[in-house]
Copies of this chain bind each other. A is one copy, B any other.
Amino acid sequence: MESSDLRKAGLKVTLPRVKILEILAGSHGRHLSAEDIYRVLRDQSEDIGLATVYRVLTQFEAAALVKRHHFEGGTAVFELNEGEHHDHIVCLDCGHVEEFMDSGIEQRQTSVARRSGFEIEEHSLILYGRCRREHCPHRPKRG
């Protein structure tokens, strides 16, 4: 994920865009909100406005460079679009997010939709639960 991807998407290679891509790439699968990214930028002493973060993320989404998700709680989170589709399990205690893909679920979705006379364009599947790990601090906020 680099500058060439920006060019390919018809976007000029600018500092904010490159920085935001880097942050998403370095998030190790964590799903970041606009505010999260903005905070990281400030920590790096980058002079980039929150509005720009939103604008860039929206452009990235339109260019299919990132995916936007609406987990519980009003704020959207973003992750790099690595190509292969997956769904999410979110821990209600610690906010930890795990990704999964189950072709059985995908298939049944398609047939359920067809049975109802729909042609699926996309879907959103989010499981909410408890991960019960040692590191899980039973705090409801994302770390």
Which residues of A line the B interface, CB within 8 A? 70, 89, 91-92, 98, 100, 102, 104-105, 108-109, 112-113, 115-133
Minimum CB–CB distance from A82 to chain B (whole Å) comes to 18
Contact (Cβ within 8 A) A129 B124: no
Chain B residues, CB < 8 A from A131: 116-118
Minimum CB–CB distance from A136 to chain B (whole Å) comes to 10
Chain B residues, CB < 8 A from A128: 120-124
Chain B residues, CB < 8 A from A133: 117
How far is A115 from B121 in the complex, measured between Cα atoms in Å? 28
4 closest residue pairs by CB, A with B: A118-B129, A120-B129, A123-B127, A125-B125
Q: How many copies does the complex hold?
A: 2
Q: 15 A–B contact pairs at CB < 8 A?
A: A89-B118, A98-B116, A98-B118, A100-B115, A105-B109, A108-B108, A113-B127, A118-B129, A119-B129, A119-B130, A120-B128, A121-B128, A123-B128, A124-B125, A125-B125
Minimum CB–CB distance from A102 to chain B (whole Å) comes to 5
Contact (Cβ within 8 A) B126 A123: yes
Chain B residues, CB < 8 A from A129: 113, 118-121
Most central of A98, A102, A105 by chain B CB within 10 Å: A105
- Given A108-B102, A124-B126, A127-B123, A116 and B132 touching (CB < 8 A)? no
